Structure 1
Amino acid sequence: EAQQVLEQHIGDSLQDLGDILDYLVSVVEESSTDLEESIETLASMLEGAVEEDRAQEISKLIISQYNEANGLSEQKVVRQNQLLDAPVTVEIEKTTAGRDWIKQADQISLVDKEALAKAEKKKKSRQQKKARREELKYIQKMAKEGIEVVGFKRSAPDSSGSRDIKLSNFSISYGRSQLLVDANFSIVYGRKYGLVGRNGSGKSTLLRHISGRELAIPENTSILHVEQEVEGDDTTVLRSVIEADIELVELWEEEKTLMQKDPENIRLPVIFKRLLEIDAETATARAAAILAGLSFTEEMQKQPTKEFSGGWRMRIALARALFCHPDLLLLDEPTNHLDFHAIVWLERFLESWEGTLIIVSHQRDFLNTVCTDITHLNQRQITQYRGNYDAFEKAANEHLKQQKKAYEAQDMQRKHIQSFINRFRANAKRATMVQSRIKKLEKMAEISPMVEEGMVELPFLAPAPLSPPILQFEECSFRYNPDEELLFSNVNLGVDLESRVALVGRNGSGKSTLLKLLTGELQAETGSVYRNSALKFATFSQHFVDQLDLNLSPLEYFLSQYPKLVSQEVRSHLGKYGIEGDTALRSIRTLSGGQKSRVVFAKIAFERPHVLLLDEPSNHLDIETIEGLARSLGTFDGGVLMVSHDQRLIELVCDEIWSLEDSRVTIWDGDMKSYKKHIMTQMP
C-alpha cells in the first residue's frame, strides 16, 4: 500500500530508485510511530529534486494519504515503536551507484546520496535528543528519591565518536583554601586512573565536582560516585542492587503491566528487544555474583538492608555501582570497608572493567593491580603519569631530580649574569653589553623551585621497661551466644615486646573480638588470657572518630585529656604528627579523615604503651603517611598486633601472620603474597 501511494505522487521515477525504494516505503509505513519525524525524513530525501517547501508538502500528502487508507487519521496517530523483522538496508553498493543515483538525461532523480546522508544525520540527531530528554526524566526522578544518578540508557558516544573527557584550566576551592588552580585533567575512555596526593590535597573534592557535573563533563556520560552508604530499609540486599538499574526495573514493570492488560500491545516487542540488549535475563545472577564477591552470603543477600552496619551498607553501595556499570565510575577509598578476600575479588573485577575508572585509594598494591594511569595532585596542580603506582613513583622521583637540576643550573646562570651587570653597570664602555645581559635576564623563563613533599613520621615514644611474659592466650575459646558456633577455640598464642603480628581473615571471623579478649573488654568462654600486671595497652579502632570530641580543636582535646600540660608543649607534640599551625586550632569535626587519624596516633604515642593494638590503622591515611607509620612501627620498642587489609603495610611491618579461618587461629606459614595466592585459589 505504501508503494502504491508513492507511485501515485512520484510516478514513473519510482522504478529508478533501486534499493532506496525499500527505505522510502519503510519511512511511510512507520509514520504512525512519529508523524513529524517521518515527514521530515521523507522531505529531506526529496529536496534534491524539488524545492524545500514543495518537498515538505509532497511528503505530508503521501504520509497523510497512507495513514487515512489504513484508518489512521492525523488526530488518531499515536507514537508507537515497531520492532522490525530484519534491518532495513539503505547502503548502496559501489557497483550499482551509477545506475541508482546518476541523473539520467530524460529523467529527474528524486533522491541523491547527499540528501540521504542529510536525512539520516537529522534523524539520528533527533533520536539522540529524544533519548537524552528521557534520560533526564529518570535522572530527575532518581534525584528526588535520593538515589545516585545512573542514566537509564547505556550512553552512546557523542557525534565525534569519542567518550573521552578533557577538563582544561579549572580551579577548585574548599572554603578559603584553593585546592587546584588552572589545572588540566585528560580522561581517556576505558582507562583506570588512580588519584593520589597528600591528605587535604583535594582528591575527594575533585571527585565530587566531577560527579556533580560542576566541571565540563559531556551530558551523554553516565557517572556514578560511590561515596555514601545505602540508606537502610526493608528492601533486601539483592533487590537493592538490582533496583539501582532504573531502566531495567522500569522495563520489567512496564512489561508486567502490559502483559496483564494488553498482551498484544505493539510496545511489548520493543521492551523485549531492549531487555535482551541490557542482558536482563542474567541480572539477578550478576547482582548475586557481585554481592558474593564482596563477601555477602546467600542468606545475607536476602536480609533487609536496615539490618546491616554502615560498613556493610557501603559495600551495598559499591555493589550497586558495579552492577549498573556507568561510563565513568568514581570510587573514594573503596577498600576501606572490605576484608582482604573482598579486596582481592574487587581487584580482579576491576581489572576487566570496560568503562572508565577514577579511584582514590591509600592501598599501593590495589593501585598497582588495577590502575593504568596515576593522577597526582600536588602544589595545586595535576600531573598525569602512565603506568601503575610503582611506575608513577619512579617517574615522579626522576622528574623531581631533573627539575631540581634545571632550577639549580638556571639559578647559577642568573647569578652569573647578575654578577656581570653589577660589576659593569657604571662602566660606559660596557653599557651595551650590560643592557644585553639585562634583557636576557628579563626574557629568561623562570623555573620554579621544586617543593619536595617531606617524609611523614608518626613517632611512638619508648615505653617503660617490662619483664616477660607480657601477654598470652591459654586454650581460649569464645562465642557471643551459647546457641552460636564458636568464633574460635583452643587459642594458644602470645605477644611480647618484639612481636610484629598481622591478624587476617574474613569480616566476621572474629579479628576485632580477639583484640577485645586481649584487652579484657570481653571474657573467654573457656581458657584464659594472661596479662602482665604492669602492661599498658593502646588501641586504635577502625571507628577511631568515637575516641575524639569533634567539637574541640586538637589542642583543646589534648588539654582536656591532660590538664597538667601547657599549650606550647601540646602544640610541639601535635606538630610531630603533622597537626600544626591553624590545623591544631580548628575543630576536629572540620579535619579530614587522615588528620583525625593523626590526632589519635598523637594521643596513643603520648600514653607510651607497651603493646599497640591497631584495628585498620591505614584507613583514611594517604600513601606517604602509611609509609611513615610503617617506619615508626618498625622502630617502636613495644609489641604490635595489627588487624589490617593493607598488604603493603603488613609486608613492611609484620613478621608473623595469624590467620582466622574455620573457627581456628593459626600461624600462617608464609608471607602476604602467599596468603593472597591462597585466597585466589578459593575463588571461582
Structure 2
Amino acid sequence: MITLKNVTLRRGTKVLLDKTSVTLNPGEKVGLVGRNGAGKSSLFAVLNGTLHEDSGEFSIPSQWRMSQVAQDMPETEQSATDFVVEGDTVLLAAQDEVTAAEASDDGMRMAHAYMALHDAGAHDAAARAQALILGLGFGVAELDRPVNSFSGGWRMRLQLARALMCPSDLLLLDEPTNHLDLDALVWLEAWLKNYAGTLVVISHDREFLDAITNVTLHIDHGTLVRYGGNYSKFEDMRAEQMLLQQAAHARQQEKVAHLQKFIDRFKAKASKAKQAQSRVKALERMEKIAPVLADAEFQFEFKAPLSMPNPMLVLTNGRFGYPPADDAPVDAKPTVIVQNINRTVLAGQRIGILGANGQGKSTLVKTIAGALAPIGGEIIPGKGLNIGYFSQQELDVLRPAETPLEHMIRLVRDTPASMRPSAMDCREQGLRNFLGTFNFSGDMVKQAVGSMSGGEKARLVLCMIVWQRPNFLLLDEPTNHLDLATREALSVALNEFEGSAMLVSHDRALLRSVCDEFWLVSRGGMTDFDGDLDDYQIYLLEEAKRQREAASGRQVA
C-alpha cells in the first residue's frame, strides 16, 4: 500500500501539505481533487519520486512498477505503432536481454531470454498497441504514420497510449481527458475500469471521475482527506459537512437562493423529452450540492442580451469543410466534411452537438462562427445576431504577446458603439474592474497571455465573451482547461443565460445540465439525436465496434 504519515511538503515558502496522513490500498482507483494550486501535481511528484517530503514518512512498495504520461511533446519519425510499443518497458528489457544473450553465446541464458520475451507478450505487442491507438480515436490508416506528422493534441494521445501500454502496479494520470473527444473518453473509461493496479487520477471531469474512481482524496488547506466513493459521493459528504460546520452567513445564503431560483425556473419549464428530464436531474443534483457551489471562489454570469432575434439563424443546404491548401494545385477542390445541413436555431434553444471524433463537430461550429467560410449553401443570420464564440484552441482568439487589459481595450475598439456597454465600463478602470470579476486582478491584467496557464486563458476568453453581451453562444470544448469550480460556475451561468447556446463538449455533466436537445453529426450529415447521453454512450460503443469490424474486414481482404 501507499502510506503518508505526518507528511509536510513545501514548494518555496508555500506549505502544500501540513503534517497530513493518508493510506491508499492496492487496487484502489483514486480521484485526487482540490482547487488549482492546492498541490495535486506536487503530490504526484512525491508519488513518482521526483519530489521528496520535507518531513514525515512516505512509503510505497519497492517492487511496484509505475506508469505515467510523459509531458514532453514527442519528436520522432517512428510510426505511431512502434512509438506506443516502446511504452512496454518489460518488453523492451526482455528484448535487450535477448540481444545480450545472443551475443554471449550462452545457450541457457538464451533459452531463459526467449522465454522471458514470450512472457512479455512480444507476439502480440503490435496488436495491443494498435488497440490502444484506435481506442483513443486514431484511424486505421494512421497506425503507421510518423509521430511527427501529428498535431500536438494527437501526439499527447500517443503519450497516453504509451503509458497505458506499460505494465504497471501504479498508474498516475494527470488530466488525461484534456485532449480527448467524447468517444475516446468513453473508451478510456472502459479501459480504466478493467485496470487491475492502483490508479491515481487528477481530473476536472466529474462524470469521468464518477465512472472510474472508488476513492476520492481531497487536498484542502494543507490536509489530505480521504472519502470512500466517487466524486459525486464526495460532494454529497462534503456538502453535509459544510452544512453542519458553516454558519448560515448572508453571502452563502444569497448564492444558494440564486441557485435555487434558476433551478426552480428550469425545472418548471422542462418538457417530458428524455434530454430535458436528464437536465432536470442534473439541476436537482446542483440543488443538492448548493453549499459546495456557494463556497466556490469564482462565479460569473452572462448579462441579458441587447436583442433577441428569432430565429437566431437559418442554415440552408449547408456544405461545410475546408478550402484547398495554399500550395494545392489550381484545380484542387475543397474538402467537404458535412453537407445537406438544413437547420433553424430559435431564440432560447440549448443544443448539444454530438458526434464521434473527426465527424465535423468543430467544423460546424467554426463555420457558424464565421471562422470558416461555407463551401456551399447559406447561413442567414437573424437581425441583431451577436455570437459569442469559444474556440477549442484559445489562441485562435487570443494574442500571446498581449495582456488581458490590451485584449479588452482592443475588444472595445472593435465593437460597434451601439453594442458596447456604458461609456464608464469601456474606460480602462471599468475594464480592470470587469477583468477582476474573472479573477484577473493586480499585476495579472498586464501579464502576457502567452505566459498564462490553460485555465487562465480559458477564463480570459469567457471574460471577453461575457463583456460582448452575446445572444448566441457557440462553445467548442470550453471546459478543457477549467477546474471543477469554474466548470460549475459556467454551468450555472449558461443555465441563467437568456439567449441561445450551441455546445460541443466531452464534459457530460455540462451537457446534461445545459442542453435540452442534441444534434448528431455523423457520416457527412446531421440529424436529431432522440436519446439522452446514456443512449449516446451506447451508440458510440456500437459505432466503434462497427468500425473495428469494418477495418478487420478490409485487412482480411
Query: If the length of structure 1 is used for normalisation, what is the TM-score?
Result: 0.65
Aligned to 2:26: 189
Provide the C-alpha distance between the structure 2 equivalents of 1:583 and 1:621, rounded to a whole number of angstroms: 18
Letter in 1 for 2:539: H
Cα 1:550–1:208, aligned 2, differ >3 Å: closer, same or farther? Answer: farther
1:501 counterpart SS class: strand
* Counterpart residue type for residue 65 of structure 2: S
- Shift of residue 608 of structure 1? 1.3
1:597 positional shift:
1.7
Q: Does 1:667 align with 2:528?
A: yes
Q: CA deviation at 1:335?
A: 1.0
Q: 1:477/1:285 Cα in 2 relative to 1: closer, same or farther (>3 Å)?
A: same
**Alignment pair present for 1:543 and 2:393:** yes
Which residue of the partner structure matches residue 382 of structure 2? 532
Whole-Å separation in 2 of the counterparts to 1:652 and 1:591: 29
For the Cα contact (< 8 Å) 2:204–2:483, is it kept in 1?
A: yes
What residue number does 1:222 align with? 65
- Does residue 385 of the first structure (1) align with residue 227 of the second (2)? yes
Distance 1:360 1:185 in 2: 17
1:192 alignment partner AA: K
SS of the aligned residue for 1:492 comes to strand
Q: Summarize the Cα distance change of 1:202–1:558 in structure 2 as closer, same or farther, 3 Å threshold.
A: farther
Q: Is the 8 A contact 1:241 1:320 kept in 2?
A: yes
- C-alpha separation in 2, matches of 1:582 and 1:193: 37
Q: Which moved more, 1:602-611 or 1:219-228?
A: 219-228
CA distance in 1, matches of 2:400, 2:222: 28
Task: Give the aligned partner of residue 622 of structure 1.
Answer: 483
Mapped partners of 1:452, 1:231: distance in 2:
42
Alpha-carbon distance in structure 2 between the residues aligned to 1:600 and 1:489: 30
**Is the Cα contact below 8 Å between 2:15 and 2:222 reproduced in 1?**
yes
For structure 2, list consecutive stretches of 5 or more residues without a partner in the other structure. 53-57, 248-291, 325-331, 414-422, 546-557
Q: Is the 8 A contact 2:84 2:158 kept in 1?
A: yes
CA, structure 1 residues 346+582, in 2 after alignment: closer, same or farther (shift >3 Å)? same
More strand by share: 2
Task: Tell me, in whole angstroms, the C-alpha distance in 2 between the residues paired with 1:329 and 1:511.
Answer: 32
Matches within 5 A, 1:52-451: 164-215=1-52, 216-218=58-60, 219-226=62-69, 228=71, 230-252=73-95, 254-255=97-98, 265-404=107-246
CA contact (8 A) 2:90 2:120 kept: no
Match of 2:433 in 1: 572
Q: 1:582 to 1:398 in 2, by over 3 A?
A: farther
Could you tell me whether the CA contact under 8 Å between 2:307 and 2:384 is conserved in 1?
no
Write out per-residue CA displacement over residues 113-160 of structure 1, whole angstroms, 9 at most, x where no aligned residue: xxxxxxxxxxxxxxxxxxxxxxxxxxxxxxxxxxxxxxxxxxxxxxxx
1:550 is displaced (CA, Å) by 4.3
Q: How far is the alpha carbon of 1:600 from its aligned partner?
A: 1.6
CA offset at residue 179 of structure 1? 3.2
Select 2:461's aligned residue among 600, 610, 622. 600
State the TM-score, normalizing by the size of structure 2: 0.79
CA distance in 1, matches of 2:446, 2:104: 68
**Residue in 2 that maps onto 1:644:** 505
Match of 1:487 among 337, 355, 358: 337
In 2, Cα distance between the equivalents of 1:596 and 1:217? 37
- Mapped partners of 1:402, 1:467: distance in 2: 47
The amino acid across from 1:402 in the alignment is L
- The superposition leaves residues 314-348 of structure 1 with CA deviations (integer Å, 9 ceiling, x where unpaired) of 11000001010322211111111111111111111
Q: Tell me if structure 2 keeps the 8 A contact 1:550–1:587.
A: yes
| Counterpart-to-counterpart distance in 2, 1:207 and 1:499 | 42
Summarize the Cα distance change of 1:320–1:593 in structure 2 as closer, same or farther, 3 Å threshold: same
Shift of 1:254: 4.8
Matched to 2:69, the amino acid is V
Q: Using the alignment, how far apart are the partners of 2:10 and 2:390 within structure 1?
A: 32
CA-to-aligned-CA distance 1:281-316 (integer Å, 9 cap, x gap): 222221111111111222111100011111111110
Answer whether contact 1:229 1:313 (CA < 8 A) is retained.
no
Q: State the Cα distance separating 1:557 from its structure 2 match.
A: 4.2
Q: How does 1:3-18 map to 2 (within 5 A)?
A: none
Check if 1:517 corresponds to 2:367.
yes
Specify whether residues 541 and 204 from structure 1 end up closer, same or farther in structure 2 by C-alpha distance, changes over 3 A only: farther
Q: 1:646 deviation in Å?
A: 0.8
1:506 aligns with 2:373: no
The CA deviation at 1:533 is 5.2
Q: What is the rounded CA distance, in whole Å, between the counterparts of 2:133 and 2:300 in structure 1? A: 37
The AA in structure 1 aligned to 2:29 is K
Q: Could you say what secondary structure the match of 1:330 adopts?
A: strand
What secondary structure does 1:291 align onto? helix
Tell me if the contact between 1:232 and 1:307 (Cα under 8 Å) persists in the aligned partners.
Answer: no
- In the aligned structure 1, how far is the partner of 2:401 from the partner of 2:20? 34
Check whether the contact 2:94–2:117 (CA below 8 A) recurs between aligned residues: yes
Deviation per residue, 1:440-480 (Å, 9 max, x gap): xxxxxxxxxx9973364231122221433321211112343
Aligned Cα RMSD in Å? 2.8
Contact 1:553–1:588, Cα closer than 8 Å, also in 2: yes
Structure 1 range deviating more: 219-228 or 522-531: 219-228
The answer as to whether partners of 2:8 and 2:19 remain within 8 angstroms in 1 is: yes
User: What SS does the aligned partner of 2:107 have?
Assistant: coil
In 2, the alpha carbon distance for the partners of 1:227 and 1:198 equals 23
The alignment covers a number of residue pairs equal to: 478
Deviation of the 1:400 alpha carbon: 2.2
2:316–2:379 CA contact under 8 A, matched in 1: yes
C-alpha change, 1:452 and 1:331, in structure 2 (3 Å) is same
Q: What is the identity, as a one-letter code, of the residue corresponding to 1:320?
A: R
Compare relative contact order (CA 8 Å, sep 6+) and give the higher one, 1 or 2: 2
**Structure 1 residue 229 displacement after superposition:** 5.0
Change (3 A) 1:381 1:547: farther
1:514-567 CA-to-partner distances (Å, cap 9, x unmatched) read 112213332333322112353222211121145334455534543454478444
- Find the aligned partners of 1:495 and 1:174 in 2 and give their Cα distance: 50
In the TM superposition, 1:473-484 aligns within 5 A as 473-480=315-322
Letter in 2 for 1:524: P
Residue of structure 2 in register with 1:102 after alignment: none
Provide Cα deviations, 1:342-388, integer angstroms capped at 9, x if missing partner: 11111111011111111111111111110010111222322110111
Conserved in 1, the CA contact under 8 Å of 2:411 and 2:464? no
CA deviation profile, 1:66-107 (whole Å, cap 9, x unmatched) = xxxxxxxxxxxxxxxxxxxxxxxxxxxxxxxxxxxxxxxxxx
Identify if the C-alpha distance between structure 1 residues 284 and 609 changes in structure 2 by more than 3 Å, giving closer, same or farther: same
Larger deviation: 226-235 or 641-650?
A: 226-235
C-alpha distance in structure 1 between counterparts of 2:13 and 2:510, whole Å: 34
Contact 1:455-1:628 within 8 A present in 2 as well: no
Q: Distance in 1 between matches of 2:95 and 2:306?
A: 68
Instruction: Work out the percentage of aligned pairs sharing the same amino acid.
Output: 35
Secondary structure of the 1:240 match is: helix
The within-5 A match list for 1:452-467 is 453-454=295-296, 456-467=298-309
Q: CA deviation at 1:212?
A: 4.0
